[in-house]
């Protein structure tokens, strides 16, 4: 990996559909050279795939919160399985993280209505070995 590879990654992160031709112009390389570098990064596992960014505001998911979950004596996988089983229809868990420190799990959650968050947190706190939750409203991401 050199500085040009990192530049290519920067452009792909911003727009995964950017053509090799446009990237080549931006980094002053030929299109085949960019293509070869991208393939090499894919083969090396640096680039794992490409995804679509969704504007959830357009879909009405305009409330975003962080939900911290504290758990005692249960596996992370089991807790996440139980949490996902309790997700209301109008709520999406966009990201989930296993943490060190006071809180064990952090969820970034989006929904249409505040009531959906209340229902979700009420369901999560009922999971055996979940001892606490803390919910923080995101003003802007």
Q: pLDDT higher for 53 or 107?
A: 107
Tell me yes or no: is domain 63-137 CATH 3.30.70.920: yes
Say if residues 80 and 96 touch (Cβ distance below 8 Å): yes
Task: Specify the pLDDT at position 108.
Answer: 97
DSSP, res 26: H
Q: Which residues of 19-42 are buried (b: 16+ CB within 10 A; e: fewer)?
A: ebeebbeebebeeeebeebbeebe
Q: How far apart are CA 11 and CA 41, in angstroms?
A: 14
8: left (phi over 0), alpha (psi -120 to 50) or beta: alpha
Say if residues 62 and 117 touch (Cβ distance below 8 Å): no
Q: Which CATH number fits domain 3-43: 1.10.10, 1.20.950, 1.10.357, 3.40.50?
A: 1.10.10
Query: pLDDT digit string (tens) for 16-72?
Result: 999 999 999 999 999 999 999 999 999 999 999 998 888 888 998 999 999 999 998
Query: What percentage of residues in the chain have a pLDDT greater than 70?
Result: 100
Hey, do 3-43 and 63-137 end up sharing a CATH topology, with the first three levels equal?
no
Task: Specify the pLDDT at position 53.
Answer: 83
Task: Specify the pLDDT at position 76.
Answer: 86
Task: Specify the pLDDT at position 75.
Answer: 84
Residue 6 banded pLDDT, cuts 50, 70, 90: very high
Which residue ranges make up each domain of the chain? 3-43, 63-137
Calculate the alpha carbon distances from 110 to 61, 70, 118, 135 in Å.
6, 20, 12, 12
Q: How far apart are CA 90 and CA 75, in angstroms?
A: 27
């Amino acid at each position: 990996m050199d500085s040009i590879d990192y530049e290519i990654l920067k452009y792909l992160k911003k727009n995964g559909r950017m053509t090799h031709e446009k990237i080549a112009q931006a980094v002053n390389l030929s299109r085949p050279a960019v293509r070869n570098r991208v393939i090499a990064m894919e083969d090396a596992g640096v680039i794992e795939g490409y995804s679509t960014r969704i504007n959830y505001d357009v879909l009405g998911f305009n409330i975003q919160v962080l939900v911290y979950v504290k758990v005692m004596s249960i596996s992370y996988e089991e807790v996440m399985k139980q949490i996902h089983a309790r997700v209301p229809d109008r709520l999406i868990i966009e990201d989930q993280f296993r943490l060190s420190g006071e809180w064990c799990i952090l969820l970034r959650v989006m929904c249409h209505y505040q009531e959906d968050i209340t229902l979700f947190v009420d369901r999560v706190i009922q999971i055996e070995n979940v001892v606490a939750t803390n919910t923080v409203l995101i003003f802007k991401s």
